[in-house]
Amino acid sequence: MSDGRGRLFGTVADLYDRYRPDPPEGLAASLGEIEGRRVLDVGAGTGKLTRFLLARGARVSAVEPDDAMREVLVARSPEVEAVAASAEALPFGEATFDLVASSSAWHWFSHPAAEVEIGRVLKDGGRIAVAWNGLSRSEAWVRDLVRLRERDDDPGRRPRGWHADLTAGPFEDPADFELEWVWRRSVEELVGVFATYSGALVREEDERLELFEAVRAVAEARSVDGVVAVPMSLRGTTARRVAR
């Protein structure tokens, strides 16, 4: 990973696994047929994508550099080969995997080193799938929430992407995908999501509490019978590894 800020997630690993969204079912269409295939989840965190892949019959290996995050992944999915490594230095042989996938982690990698290394471990014709799964900007109230997440003057602010530029790696036939979906959460569950964002983790305790109260106020105003229908976006890019 390109700096240490991404390692802050390990301090809230259990909360991350509890509150962050699972991939929506629609992601499967962008991954293609993976049953019985060797798949690598890079920047796997606590295993949200890993479990999605396992449920569809893939033979999954996972790479996660943060020990606390990886510990949750292993506890939830003990059958998975989970290793401490980074996207830029994968401990696997050349042409090992049919698919390399990454969800909501690409912006933490160093580029183009990550693309080159992923290309190395992919089989000829194998696929890369990079996805982001997060709050949609389709409604004004959600855009207000997003602005609360990270201060504009935060020098460590890491803009999320929606699509990956894979031109630095050995890939062809890039294709972007998009899916809008709705995530139904209680008010406190939505507050819990914000407790796992890096923009909250770098703040002092009093600032975090102020953030949570602001999120709670917005969520309560949008809730119906205690449930908030949160607009979400799944977006990303797929491509194919060129023949060696």
Q: What is 130-163 written as a DSSP string?
A: EEEEEE-SSSHHHHHHHHHHS-TT-TT--PPPSS
| Higher-scoring residue by pLDDT: 92, 4 | 92
Rounded CA-CA distance 118/230 in Å is 33
**215 pLDDT higher than 60:** yes
**6 pLDDT higher than 60:** no
**1 pLDDT higher than 50:** no
Rounded CA-CA distance 232/132 in Å is 10
Rounded CA-CA distance 110/133 in Å is 20
What's the token pair of residue 186? Answer: 């209680």
What's the token pair of residue 8? Answer: 């802050």
- For residue 150, the model assigns a pLDDT of 66
Rounded CA-CA distance 132/235 in Å is 5
Could you read off the pLDDT of 42-79 as tens digits, one per residue?
999 999 999 999 999 999 999 999 999 999 999 999 99
Rounded CA-CA distance 142/136 in Å is 7
Would you say the C-alpha torsion 185, 187, 189, 195 has a positive or negative sign? positive
| Higher-scoring residue by pLDDT: 189, 153 | 189
**81 pLDDT higher than 50:** yes
Which residues 6+ apart lie within 8 Å of 1 measured at CB?
7, 43, 65, 86, 87, 108, 109, 110
pTM of the model: 0.90
CB atoms within 10 A of CB 92: 18
Could you read off the pLDDT of 105-164 as tens digits, one per residue?
999 999 999 999 999 999 999 999 999 999 999 999 999 998 888 665 555 555 556 899
* pLDDT classification of 27: cutoffs 50, 70, 90: very high
Average pLDDT score over the chain: 93
CB 45 within 8 A of CB 54: no
Phi, psi of 136 (to 5 degrees): -80, 150
Q: Among 121, 126, 101, 57, which residue's Cα sits nearest to residue 236?
A: 101
Sheet-wide strand order for 97-103: 81-83, 59-63, 38-42, 97-103, 122-135, 227-241, 171-186
Domains in the chain, please, with CATH? 4-136+158-183+233-241 (3.40.50.150)
* pLDDT classification of 199: cutoffs 50, 70, 90: confident
Rounded CA-CA distance 189/171 in Å is 39
What's the token pair of residue 188? Answer: 């406190």
Rounded CA-CA distance 198/25 in Å is 26
**240 pLDDT higher than 90:** yes
Widest CA span of the chain, in angstroms?
57
- Mean of the pLDDT values across residues 80-87? 98
